[in-house]
Amino acid sequence: MIDVHAHLEQMDFDNDRYQVIEGCKQKLKAVITCCAHPEDFDLTMQMVEKHKGFVFATVGIHPIYIKEITEKEKDEFLDLIKENKDKITALGEQGLDYFEIKESEWQQKQKELFIEFIDLSKELNFPLVVHSRDAFEDAIRILEQEDAKQVLMHMFGAHHLLKRVIENNWFISLNTIILRSKKHKKIARDMPSEKILTETDSPWLDPAGGRNTPLNVKIVIEKISEIKKVTFEEMDKITTNNAIKFFNLKI
């Protein structure tokens, strides 16, 4: 089992971060933690260094932070990513969020930043983890127009656009929301198994309403296997191999 999208840098883990990681090592093959703000970069790199071969990192600027990151900070962060590319597995989560950001001028700035990260992903030959909330059409259009290839649609929820995702040969990741969301269940049903990855988006989306952890990726795999009508072991093997292949994990 691999959790391809967690946020281990969040303060929810401040009291027991390394105990959580050690617990995950007993059950999972790897955890990919997502650094979505420049201020979380150092902690993310510390986790990758301390848990080599188990904790991997994606790095980006979440679109909800578009108003608070200056142009100078953004440029410095892009340089930092390039300098540390050997410690990074992918870029993201990057993309568009029209749920949190309503103003058209700031949505436009999200698009511009998104394109910068798509360009950087090509330059560094990194996969790109895409966040698209209430902005699926625009996110897919930009990815297509920029000819992005190595794409993972994180927590993808637009079933009506699934055909385009499949045609573009992109991947999607499903998390614990699949337990209660009909649209995500439909996506699990209709997405080819060889293009599905599993995640938790920890510490959020805990099925019991508390703090989610990467261990709950097991619940996600159980639900996908139920929907796909295959055994847990088969779906676990498929999604684990998908993650290793997509992120080129050295484990």
Residues shown for the chain: 251
What pLDDT is attached to residue 126? 98
Question: How do residues 6-50 score in pLDDT, each as one tens digit?
Answer: 999 999 999 999 999 999 999 999 999 999 999 999 999 999 999
Q: Report the pLDDT value the prediction gives residue 90, as an integer from 0 to 100.
A: 98
C-beta of residue 90 within 8 angstroms of C-beta of residue 129: yes
pTM (two decimals) = 0.97
Q: What are the pLDDT digits (tens) for 95-137?
A: 999 999 999 999 999 999 999 999 999 999 999 999 999 999 9
For the chain, the domains span 2-247
Give the model confidence (pLDDT) of 156-203 as tens digits: 999 999 999 999 999 999 999 999 999 999 999 999 999 999 999 999
Residue 32: its pLDDT value, please? 98
- Look over the chain and give the mean of its residue pLDDT values, rounded to a whole number: 98
Query: Three-state SS across 164-197?
Result: HHHHCCCEEEECHHHHCCHHHHHHHHHCCHHHEE
Give the 3-state secondary structure of residue 132. strand
Query: What CATH code is assigned to 2-247?
Result: 3.20.20.140
**146's tokens:** 């920029």
Which segments within 101-243 are labelled E, that is strand?
128-133, 151-154, 171-174, 196-198
**Contact, 3 vs 32, CB < 8 A?**
yes
Q: Which two tokens stand for residue 222?
A: 């159980």
